[in-house]
Amino acid sequence: MYVVSMKITGQAEVVEEALAPMAHAFQKRCSMAWPPENTAKDETITIDAADDLVTAMHQYMFTVMMDDAQPQRPHLDGYSLDLYQAVAEAVDQWVEASPKHEHFTKFHRQKVEFFHTDTLRGAWLNMRKCQFLSAEGPCPEETRRQSPNLHEYLMAVHAWLRQIDLHFAYYYYYYYWRTVMRPAMAESKAGRASSDLLGSTGISAPPPPLEPRDMLKHEMLTNEAFAKPFDQKAVRLCIRNRTAMEPCKKTDVIIAVAQELVDVGLLELVIESAGIQDDNARRKKKGRAVKTWQRRSLADVTSCADADQERKRLRVSKDCFS
């Protein structure tokens, strides 16, 4: 089991490629969350008990459920089988009626017709969880049960319905994106945006993107990590994975960009320490001087016409200055 977390800001093509519908629904079984730009994190939350529970269940599955002396042949009991047949009948009725829908695609049908694998997999998992939690309790015979009961299969059906909601919502969005939004964006990007899209609605065209050096300046003035005094190492670590700032990742460039902000009155140099002598006796090479900057106060920025004009050009809010 592995989890990949990505923070994607405005990269529509990346999202479209990663979430494009396939015959088996998505390329990955993904869960999507939409947090605020600055999400609060607490690394001190105690999760040891949850980790121990997951680890113990994995050990239980390998030591008990994979025992060759006890072959596992999972199957549905009479009550859960009745529910399975009812779901299958509902799926058949939906498939017959769904092509009449305007936005019906092959992905809708493929996802629904995979109901048997989705629900049965969820039912087996629910049964194993119940067996694991009751293994140390008063019902050790639970470990010998090989048929999910009605409640365990019903929970799987509820989870499947919620998954259907997520997938269908995305399929409808994907249809709208490919047929309406993407052509409109392409037309706008080519400079042929019609008045219906921009002019008549009063929406102005987005400003052009900043140059790499200006992007670095914007980062220094807006990133919360630089609200306190910072040095060139902190800046380099912050932008190391930012492809758009590739020309600005060298320390000399970072220092030069920061000096431009100092000259215009948006930053001030607070510390400039000399290089540290290398401990390696063979090299004795003097290290690079470390410079530390901090943002000027809001009063200083607004009182200087050049600083305030540069702030507006870099699209930096006054809230970024204390």
Backbone angles phi and psi of 44, in degrees to 5: -95, 0
Q: What is the pLDDT of residue 141?
A: 65
Digit-coded pLDDT (tens) for 226-242: 988 999 889 988 888 77
Of 52-56, 214-218, 285-289, the range with the lowest mean pLDDT is 285-289
For residue 239, the 8-state DSSP code is S
Helix axes 150-176, 78-97, angle to 10 degrees: 20
Best mean pLDDT range from 19-28, 33-42, 297-306: 297-306
Query: Do strands 230-231 and 290-295 pair parallel, antiparallel, or not at all (unpaired)?
Result: antiparallel
- In this predicted model, which residue has the larger pLDDT, 191 or 273? 273
Q: What is the pLDDT of residue 242?
A: 79
Terminal CA-CA length for the chain: 45
Q: What is the pLDDT of residue 195?
A: 42
Confidence of residue 163 (pLDDT cuts 50, 70, 90): confident
Residue-by-residue DSSP string for 104-127: --HHHHHHHHTHHHHHHHHHHHHH
Q: What is the pLDDT of residue 87?
A: 92
Q: Residues 20-31, buried b or exposed e (16+ Cβ, 10 A)?
A: ebeeebbeeeee
Q: What is the pLDDT of residue 105?
A: 72
Confidence of residue 192 (pLDDT cuts 50, 70, 90): very low
Looking at every residue in the chain, the average pLDDT score rounds to: 76
Architecture of domain 212-276+285-320: Orthogonal Bundle (1.10)
Q: Name the residue type at position 206.
A: P
Give CA 9 to chain center in angstroms.
9
Average confidence (pLDDT) over 134-146: 68
Q: Where are the domains of the chain?
A: 12-33+48-189, 212-276+285-320
